[in-house]
Amino acid sequence: MRRAAARGTALLVGLCGYGFSMAVMVRAGLGLDPWDVFHQGLTRHTGMTIGIASAVVGVAVLLAWIPLRNRPGIGTIANVVVIAVTVDAGLWLLPTPTSLPLRIAMMVSAVVLNAFSTVLYIGAALGPGPRDGLMTGLVMRTGLSVRLVRTSIEATVLAVGWLLGGTVGVGTVLYAFGIGPLVQLFLRVTPRRVLAVSGWASVTEASDLDVKSGARRNKSRRNREFVDVA
């Protein structure tokens, strides 16, 4: 019971933190994260709020899970709903700052909070969000690192969002190339015993997060090649 409550709390805190980080970045006005550049581009053509656009895109991304054989959970549905509500509520509550140092601090804080929130709600193991399910699915199917896969997805979405008219700035660049390493950093400092029972367990095994395991696999592969040659 306690474990279930802890997982539910981690899920909600992570999702609320994620949505709030999106609102903070919008208010900082120094460029949106790639997905929100895309969401904003959609709002320019449809009149939707960023929150509603986020929910619509989330449902669409779920279709990409089919070839990856991902299974949605309660966390997946909560991701679509909670983030959409939180980002719109955050935009309603937060004022628009005029001080450049404050805007820069908000931008950096938003990126860090976003990465931490991602690790938190995926770690709840109640089902990743549509976008992160895409990331974890690709990591497990390709064996590539979280850093590489996450950065590649963000860069692609950024390009499409920019073509749709979304706002791109220094914050966009910081997020696109910083979110992957930050997620990986938070995973590295998370105790292995926690990762072993979280939603990141299979991802950390499939990626290059565990350097020692990777080294052992490489050593084993070299030994097999040596035997084959001999």
Question: With 70 as the cut, is the pLDDT of residue 28 above it?
Answer: yes
**What is the arithmetic mean of pLDDT over 30-34?**
88
Share of the chain above pLDDT 90, in %: 32
Q: Looking at residue 146, what is its pLDDT?
A: 78
What tens digit of pLDDT does each residue of 67-110 get? 787 778 888 889 899 999 999 999 999 999 999 999 999 999 99
What mean pLDDT is predicted for residues 180-199? Answer: 77
d(CA 149, CA 152): 5
> Average pLDDT, whole number, for the chain?
82
Q: How many CB atoms lie within 10 A of CB 195?
A: 20
Quickly state the pLDDT bin for 66 (edges 50, 70, 90): confident
- Report the pLDDT value the prediction gives residue 102, as an integer from 0 to 100: 95
> What pLDDT was estimated at residue 214?
44
Q: Which of 174, 157, 182 is nearest to 36 (CA)?
A: 157
Residue 164 above 70 pLDDT?
yes
What is the mean predicted confidence (pLDDT) over 152-173? 88
Residues 205-214: what's their mean pLDDT?
53
How is residue 198 written in tokens?
Answer: 């979280």
Instruction: Please tell me the predicted confidence (pLDDT) of residue 95.
Output: 92
Spatial contact of 56 and 70, defined as CB atoms under 8 Å apart: no
The pTM of this model reads: 0.77
**H helix or E strand, kind and range, residue 2:** helix 2-28
Determine the average pLDDT of the residues in 130-136: 82
- CA count, 13 A, side-chain hemisphere, 190: 23
* Range among 12-26, 65-79, 196-210 rated most confident: 12-26
Distance CA 44, CA 41 (A): 5
